[in-house]
Amino acid sequence: MSALSRLRPIALWIAVTTFSLVLCFAEQNSQVAGKWNMVSLTPDGDQVAWTLSIANNDGKYSGTVDGTDGQSPAKDLKVEGSKIHLRTTYQDEDYDIDLKLDGDKLTGTWAGNGSSGETRGTKAPASSAAK
């Protein structure tokens, strides 16, 4: 068996693995991108509703946060696997938000201004996300 014949199965395996990774990345992009209806719980038990909009343009994520204070950018937005991190401003204070993607749900925590709590959300229907 020649060296070239022995390399064909390896080359095929590399091609299939690379293609699978590209498909997984594309699936993650489609799951993360969109409009998310979020609720954060305060230490007092109040619920603060807000909207997170995430876009993916050529592999680069950007986002905005809409809440009672109006719209602000999702700063330092990072998506790594199923984990999402961002910073946003609420009532003139910066807050860190760490989320985990699970299908059409996001769960995680927020922290800032000496407080922290849980946050969760669901992906808005496609018709709502287009608005």
Could you count the other beta carbons within 10 Å of the beta carbon of residue 42?
A: 13
Q: How far apart are CA 34 and CA 21, in angstroms?
A: 22
Residues 6+ apart with CB under 8 A from 116: 43, 109, 110
Model confidence pLDDT, tens digit, residues 74-122: 999 999 989 999 999 988 899 999 999 999 999 999 999 999 999 999 9
- Which tens digits make up the pLDDT trace of 11-22? 555 555 444 444
% of the chain surpassing 70 pLDDT: 73
Q: Can you give the C-alpha Rg of the chain in angstroms?
A: 19
Look up the pTM and report it.
0.74
Q: What residues contact residue 107 under an 8 Å CB cut-off, 6+ apart?
A: 99, 100, 118, 119, 120
Pair type for strands 34-41 and 47-57: antiparallel
| Whether residue 25 has pLDDT greater than 60 | no
The structure tokens listed for 27 are 């699936």
Q: Which fold has domain 33-125?
A: Lipocalin (2.40.128)
Show Cβ contacts of residue 126 under 8 Å, excluding neighbours closer than 6 positions: 34
